[in-house]
Amino acid sequence: IRNEYQRLDIYKRISAFLTHDDCLDMQDELIDRFGEPPQSLVNLIDASLLRNTAGRLGITEISQKRGALFFFVTQPTPQQLSALMRKYYDRIAFNDKKPPYYVAVRLAKGELSVSLMHEVIGIFQENVGNATGMN
């Protein structure tokens, strides 16, 4: 996108994505206006939706170290923790001492961190619940 104003406008819109449909609409618009977007832009769109979804779920940070993804969350619900334990029973660890709490999930051999990130955030989203977290 050569026009700086258009480029900034698109980046601003991408940063505000709330749903997968928002991503699809943006990709369709970009294809119509500029042709097939480069993979780096597709990755940016995906990362923006992931970041915004995580933020709405109280996940304040995601980091990777020692072969695991760490999800720092302000108040995980018992439903979320239970679902994560069922899915990753031998690959999961928690810190419930003080906020922000963390949930760490070890990457399986050959597993991509972005795939695990999508999966874990999906579990957080599907199991929001109404109860308070780990106090």
Q: Read off the pLDDT of residues 1-14 as tens digits, 9 standing for 90 and up.
A: 788 898 899 889 88
Contact in structure between 100 and 60 (CB atoms under 8 Å): yes
Instruction: Using pLDDT thresholds of 50, 70 and 90, give the confidence band for residue 130.
Output: low
Instruction: Using pLDDT thresholds of 50, 70 and 90, give the confidence band for residue 133.
Output: very low
The pLDDT, as a whole number, for residue 134 is 45
Q: Is the pLDDT of residue 97 over 90?
A: no
The gap from C-alpha 6 to its chain's centroid, in whole angstroms, comes to 26
pTM, two decimals, is: 0.78
Helices then strands (H, E): number in the chain?
Answer: 5, 4
